[in-house]
Chain A
Amino acid sequence: MRGLQLPLSQTQRIRLQRALEKLQSLSCKANSDASVTVADTIPVNYEDAFLKGHGTTDLNGDLVATLCGVVERINKLVYVRALRARYKPEVGDIVVGRVVEVSQKRWRLEINFSLDAILMLSSMNMPDGIQRRRTALDELNMRCIFEENDVVCAEVRNFQHDGSLQLQARSQKYGKLEKGQLLIVDPYLVKKSKQHFHHLEQFGIDLILGRNGFIWVGEHVEARDSMVVDQANSSEQSRVPEEKNQTHTPLEMRQNICRIANAVRVLSTLGFSIDADLILETVELSSTVKIDIHDMLGSEFHVLVAEREPERRSLMGKRKR
């Protein structure tokens, strides 16, 4: 585990160590022999024909790993999957990105991948909601939809032949994200699940877990009715900032947003996989312990969350059986 950069006292250090040891013992023992470090030999039956995949190399007749990770076998392919790699996109993933450039008929988004992703104008719903061919006027008005530095939620559509990514945002739930904060965690902490959009009703907050490690926590916005507005109106509204000044996020919702954001930060420092249930439980834990929102980032709360995790996982394991 990476050196936790927290000022831990001696007792806290011991407690954290014990909690992490419990977690290790709980984790699937079957997989422990599948993890390899650089220059470990991979156990393969050399008589079978197998394909050497990424992260492996042939050294003196042995198959040796070149990465630290887990050995995966799919049919005849043997490869090593690194644990803390850059985001590896799959078609259909939900990602959250930031607009870097507005160019001809497309937006370029930064999504924590080796290349910037492309969102074509044609993959985006028009503000008036009509399905039509994009004209030159639409192209000139692209800035009314998304500008530079806007935070956008979209879905991976396909890969281009040169390796770059194409996104689409055709559904009502995708689009610009405002009134909240963006958190950046390591991509490997967000696993693929059925739901990436979470509307937390008890708080009135939207939580979007982008698979690229960008997590959005913000006020709940109804399904994009604001997009179905005349283009002229929308451009007028964006030039009237005084209106926005009066409609600040209410304090209670802001407290909830901060609490959830801090829960995500704590989980990411500890290296636990982030999903909505865990976040909600962490927030409940912080309310039961009556800890201040800011103190959630202190060492005591980190140790508490770490201690709670083995109990939670063993409970989940029992429930499955």
Chain B
Amino acid sequence: MVGLSVGEKHFIQGGIAQDLRSDGRKRLTYRPIYVETGVIPQAHGSARVRLGATDVIASVKAELGKPSALQPDKGNIAIYVDCSPTAAPMFEVGRGGEELSTELSVALQRCLLGGKSGAGAGIDPTSLVVVEGKVCWDLYIDGLVISSDGNLLDALAAAIKAALSNTGIPKVDVAADATSDEQPEVNISDEEFLQFDTSGIPVIVTLTKVGRHYIVDATSEEESQMSSAVSISVNRKGHICGLMKRGGVGLDPSIILDMISVAKHVSEQLINKLDSEIAAAEASEEES
């Protein structure tokens, strides 16, 4: 990242204190979100989300697999994020790109997949099972960061939500005469697809604390000035699905509670905006 002079840093901090950021946004305004779906035809679902200069792609691939012995009625979901070296020089292999990738992957898994038992997950794993105990769908969700200008977590969560709305899982016919020991025969249909129900998927709102105020959707310049950042995953009902804090500076507990209420408030508009953008993207994809 390019460094900033003392004068510029002072200007950014002053702007945040006066509720007028460098591009004219208020503290709690998002940059315009641009969603495109179906960008990767080979995947079962994909989406590209642009948030200012931040550009991320998410793709969903489904394969048939065996459910784990502990949870025979649930499918498997894996989320993995890769930061492409073209996004920033610091993402090159061996220079910290892997750390950031693991951090983002873990954060997304916590927010979207819920706990170890699968409880409270945004994506319902029971809808992925085909034959209980024997066959289930394995979902591999991959995120790729193409260009980074701050706020990667929000953009990735939005991209995953859009990709899942775009996903069509092929319908599976199970041969009826399977015995209980053998693997049943499955017939994967090429024609019919089941759409995923994405109304329960949460979005992530990252609040970056600079000085005494918090801002939403920080650019990478503003992120370089942050003292700490809290990412809160909120779903449509207003429930919190995940919480993550970055940054070395300690926070008073009352500030965290305040941030959570601010995030809830912001997430309502964000969810509505995102849903309308996803609907528009799917509509234009069908036209083309």
Contacts and interface: CB of A to CB of B under 8 A. Distances in A.
A297 B17 CA distance: 22
B277 A178 contact: no
A181 B5 contact: no
Contacts of B50: 5
B7 A297 contact: no
A261 B280 CA distance: 30
A268 to B, nearest CB: 12
Contacts of A298: 32
A149 B3 CA distance: 5
Interface string B17-28: 110111111100
Given A98-B3, A148-B3, A248-B18, A181 B24 contact: no
A258 B5 contact: no
Interface size class of B (residues with CB under 8 A): 20 to 34
A258 B23 contact: yes
Interface string A226-267: 000000000000100000100011010011001101100100
A180 B34 CA distance: 29
Interface stretch (B8-16, B101-109, B112-120, B177-185): B8-16
Given A255-B20, A297-B31, 16 more contacts: A6-B32, A149-B5, A150-B6, A150-B7, A176-B5, A178-B5, A178-B7, A178-B8, A180-B7, A248-B17, A255-B24, A258-B23, A259-B24, A261-B23, A293-B20, A294-B23
Contacts, number: 88
Interface of A: 5-7, 98, 147-151, 176-182, 218, 238, 244, 248-249, 251, 254-255, 258-259, 261-262, 265, 292-294, 296-299
B255 to A, nearest CB: 20
B149 to A, nearest CB: 12
A248 B8 contact: no
B154 to A, nearest CB: 17
8 contacts: A176-B5, A244-B10, A258-B22, A258-B24, A262-B24, A265-B23, A297-B31, A297-B32
A238 B280 CA distance: 52
B2 interface: yes
Which A-B residue pairs are the 6 nearest by beta carbons?
Answer: A178-B7, A293-B24, A149-B3, A248-B14, A294-B24, A258-B24
Contacts of B26: 294
